[in-house]
Amino acid sequence: MQFICVTCGTQHAESADPPAHCAICEDERQYVGLDGQKWTTLDELRRGHANEVIAAEPGLHEIHTEPQFGIGQRAFLLRTPMATCFGIVCRCSMTRLWT
């Protein structure tokens, strides 16, 4: 099973039991609630959450989870004649996006 940190939303490597800690949440800049580290799975998360895809503008889509989960990350799908990029704006597409 691949466990997901409830605080930051990071999915960890497959294991039989939840990880002892989350490397992301151990960073002093990250907040972990008073109840401590909590874990979920993708199957559990799907019961109450769904990904929403919004067309921000032609060729650019925003993908985020509703209701918000973890630290509220969002991804962008950018389509260009050269490439399709997931999560980040590729170097090959950055000029096209801003010009």
The full set of domain ranges for the chain reads 1-48, 49-99
How much is the pTM?
0.69
Give the separation between CA 13 and CA 1, rounded to whole angstroms: 8
pLDDT tens, position by position, for the chain (99 residues)? 999 999 999 999 999 999 988 988 888 888 888 888 899 999 999 999 999 999 999 989 999 999 999 888 899 998 877 655 555 444 444 333 332
Burial 23-32 (b: 16+ CB within 10 A, else e): ebbeeeeeeb
Under 8 Å between Cβ of 5 and 15: no
Helix (H/G/I), strand (E/B), else coil: 44: helix
Element (H, E) at 51: strand 50-57
